[in-house]
Amino acid sequence: MAITDRREIEFDLQTVRLVLEWSPRAAQAFGLPPFTPTAVHGNPADGVVEVTYGELTSIRVFMLRAEALGAILISYCNRVGMPMPRYADKGVRIECDHVVVLLSRRQDAAPAPELPEPPVGRIPEAVRAWSWIEADH
């Protein structure tokens, strides 16, 4: 009996721009300039985001592949304390107006708990309301 944990973390494009702004070293490691991006646009057909720097007369646009953006977003999530499974399959889906980080982890068998179950201190509210319903014969 297998257990599969699937998660999706969705970032709107304004948040992606902020993550790039707050992660300048990671962005530079993937070829982006050491400046604050002014805009981010999704290009799902090519699997890239277009990162724009500058304004009016000096605009430059850089393409950032999904794999590189995924690494930056996962690093950001780790830095802000968002729980992420370490040994999960990871992917990135780029849409026109957002980016989704996909995580999937499969365990082929249910592991036994490492610690025994703690005693129940009180009956939770939902359980107190339970009642058995006898089927009509």
CA 119 from chain center: how many Å? 35
The pTM for the full model equals: 0.77
- Using an 8 Å Cβ cutoff, are 76 and 20 in contact? no
Domain-by-domain residue ranges, the chain?
3-107
Q: What is the pLDDT of residue 126?
A: 62
For the chain, 137 residues long, the average pLDDT of each consecutive 10-residue run is 90 98 95 94 97 90 96 95 90 97 91 86 62 64
pLDDT for the residue numbered 127? 54
> Phi and psi of 101, rounded to 5°?
-95, 125
Q: What are the start-end ranges of the H helices in the chain? A: 13-22, 24-29, 66-79, 125-128
Q: State the pLDDT at residue 129.
A: 54
Residue 131 has a pLDDT of: 60
Answer yes or no: are the C-beta atoms of 103 and 116 closer than 8 Å: no
